[in-house]
Amino acid sequence: MCHDYGFSYSCPVEATIAVIGGKWKCVILFHLCDGKKRFSQLQRFLPEITQRMLTLQLRELEADGVISRTVYAEVPPRVEYALTEFGESLRPILFLMRDWGQEYRDTIVDTKTRQASQAN
């Protein structure tokens, strides 16, 4: 059951989705579970995301306190993104999502393979 905690969210799940929801945020966070990443590394992991969208998603995640952005005074400037201590609390959720997604993919592939073989 969801309760109003005095925030603009009527349910804790709504608050979670507000922070990590959308097409890219969970995937970005999942890749940051392996450690710090530069912008270009994240772009390689997510070839379908535009530079603008990646920038927006990173800014939102930073504003929500789940990732940090570190700029190094180098030429050219180096920027790294990492999970914050609070962001680390998402790690078990992200790994459960990975496991569920793998099981779902395996189930769908098995089902479609069986259906295809039965149709022949």
Residue 6 scores a pLDDT above 70? no
Tell me what pLDDT residue 2 has: 52
What is the Cα–Cα distance from 14 to 114, expressed in whole angstroms? Answer: 38
User: What domains lie within the chain, and their CATH numbers?
Assistant: 12-119 (1.10.10.10)
Please report which helix (H) or strand (E) contains residue 38, including its range.
strand 37-38
Bridge partner list, 82: 68
CB atoms within 10 A of CB 87: 22
Tell me what pLDDT residue 51 has: 95
Mean pLDDT of 31-60: 96
Residue 1 scores a pLDDT above 70? no
Mean pLDDT of 14-38: 94
pLDDT tens string 83-110: 999 999 999 999 999 999 999 888 887 7
> Could you tell me which residues come within 8 angstroms of residue 72 by beta carbon, excluding any fewer than 6 positions away?
78, 79, 80
Its pTM stands at 0.82
